[in-house]
Copies of this chain bind each other. A is one copy, B any other.
Amino acid sequence: MPKNPRLSRSRIGLILFGMCALVPSVYASTDGHTASLFLWIALLLIAAKISSLAVERIQQPAVLGELLIGVLLGNLGLFGINYFEAIKTDEVMAFLAQLGVVLLLFKSGLETNIDTILKVGMRAFLVACIGVIVPFGLAYFIAPLILPNLSQNTYLFLGATLTATSIGITSRVFKDLGKLNTPEAQIVLGAAVLDDVMGLVILAVVSAIVTTGTVSAGEVSWITLKAGLFLVGSIVIGQWTADYIGKKLSKIHAGESMKFTLVICFGLIFAYLAHLVGLAPIVGAFAAGLVLDKVQFEDFEDAAVHGDIQKTLIHADEELKDRVENVLEKHRHHHIENLIDPLGHFLIPLFFVLTGMQVNLHSFTNLPILATALVITALAFVSKLAAGLAAGKVNKWIVGWGMAPRGEVGLIFAMTGRGLGVVDDDMFAVIVIMITLTTLLTPPILGHLLRKAA
């Protein structure tokens, strides 16, 4: 046996002794980053849950609790606690949050009836149009009076930012309060999707004007065509495909995990396709949810409880059997949603806590900036409330407030402008405060209006 001068037999003895003595070891099957992520996720989820419970006690939507705890954790740096700073810029956390908001819109789509939303389609279109024109106009023509001496391009970007609608916040509030199937919610959801499509074109057009001074009609038409085909095509073709795939696969295998995989992958692929045609992935996820709303997955039904209960009732009288069957039937229809709920419990709070963490409270301490921001915030609210006026015979206030939060979409506008050099640090702070206030004030106000209406 070859001898190693550095390794004596006594050392081998030590190794063997070590094994038998059950000596554990410092080894890194998982690197420190992965382990930190486990802890971060656990801490954020627990914090989100506790905070949600606290705000629900004072009759507020749970999402407000998740946002506020995010603001708190994200600003602990002001008190010298920097533990949570790394979470704000972590790539994996950012992805989990994105997956969370995609899932949220997918769930909203599943719970939304496609016929209802088509019925309010014209109203939603009007609300979306006014919700884009009025904020843009107000910012473009009134902001120069309040904030003179800025470049035309800056006003353009401010206008673009004010047109945004954060479908995530609003759909969570409606969900938290169980109002997702009211006409008001359907109009807001429809308008927010159209808003994503039309409002954000301004970003492309405005960006083109800032960078090249002009905009190509051909390019704009091509972008329009792609997105139009996606939205119409996804609903028409998707409805056919999902039905077909569902029926095909139900013949191969029955089981909850198959149904779950199909449903989730359908949503993810639509999110990807939306990105491919230039839309936000959340719009694709919402469309996927709308499509699957129609698909029957009955063959995949996990029938464990149902089958057992039916067996138990085999000698019971017919009327009782029918009554129990009706109960089971009622619960069966919620099955797709229930199946992806746990994934939602895991990912969706991460999105809202991380959104809250992006708020920098430091910008609230500069008085001139704060004053300007409050005026811009007022414009932001007023202009979307004006959009609500187009909502027809529903509660116009609910629609208007539902359109108000700018959320992450507004932030993307502002960051694009910053990247192009037309939004300076002060203007960025103003926009961030406006986004923060529209995002944080909307849940309690909307919650109040919804409860009053009920």
A residues near B (Cβ < 8 Å) are 1-4, 6-7, 11-12, 14-16, 18-30, 32, 34-39, 41-42, 45-46, 49, 53, 91-92, 94-95, 98-99, 102, 129, 132-133, 136, 140-141, 144, 148-149, 151-153, 156, 163, 194, 197-206, 209, 213-215, 220, 223-224, 226-228, 252-253, 256-258, 260-261, 264-265, 268-269, 271-272, 275-282, 304-305, 308-309, 312-313, 316, 320, 323-324, 327-328, 330-331, 339-343, 345-346, 408-409, 412, 416
Q: Nearest 7 CB-CB pairs, A to B?
A: A4-B152, A24-B227, A35-B275, A25-B201, A25-B204, A26-B278, A23-B201
* Contact A34–B151 (Cβ < 8 Å): no
8 contacts between A and B (CB under 8 A): A15-B136, A22-B198, A23-B198, A25-B205, A38-B269, A91-B92, A260-B342, A343-B343
Q: Which residue of B lies closest to A22 (CB)?
A: B198
Q: How far is the CB of A342 from chain B (nearest CB, A)?
A: 5
Find out whether the CB atom of A268 lies under 8 angstroms from the CB atom of B38: yes
**CA of A23 to CA of B196, assembled, Å:** 10
**B residues less than 8 Å from A99 (CB atoms):** 38
Chain B nearest CB from A110 CB (Å) reads: 14
In the complex, A32 Cα to B265 Cα: how many Å?
18
**Chain B residues, CB < 8 A from A26:** 204, 223, 278
Contact A7 B152 (CB under 8 A): yes
In the assembled complex, the Cα of A228 lies from the Cα of B94 at a distance in Å of 36
Which chain B positions have C-beta within 8 A of A228?
22, 24
Complex copy number for this chain: 2
Alpha-carbon distance between A386 and B27 when the two chains are bound, in angstroms: 26
Complex: chain B residue closest to A156, CB-CB: B7
- Contact A209 B7, beta carbon cutoff 8 Å: yes
Which residues of chain B are within 8 angstroms of A256 by Cβ–Cβ distance?
A: 341, 345
The answer on a CB contact under 8 Å between A265 and B53 is no
Contact in complex: B331, A205 (CB < 8 Å)? no
A34:B281 contact, CB within 8 angstroms: yes
Query: What is the chain B residue whose CB lies nearest that of A315?
Result: B320
Return the contact of A102 from the options B38, B278, B312, B341 (Cβ within 8 A): B38
A19 adjacent to B201 (CB under 8 Å): yes
Q: A15-B206, A152-B7, A343-B346 are in contact. Are A279 and B49 (CB under 8 A)?
A: no
Contact A37:B202 (CB < 8 A) given known A23-B224, A220-B23, A260-B345:
no
Contacting residues, chain B, for A258 (C-beta < 8 A): 49, 53
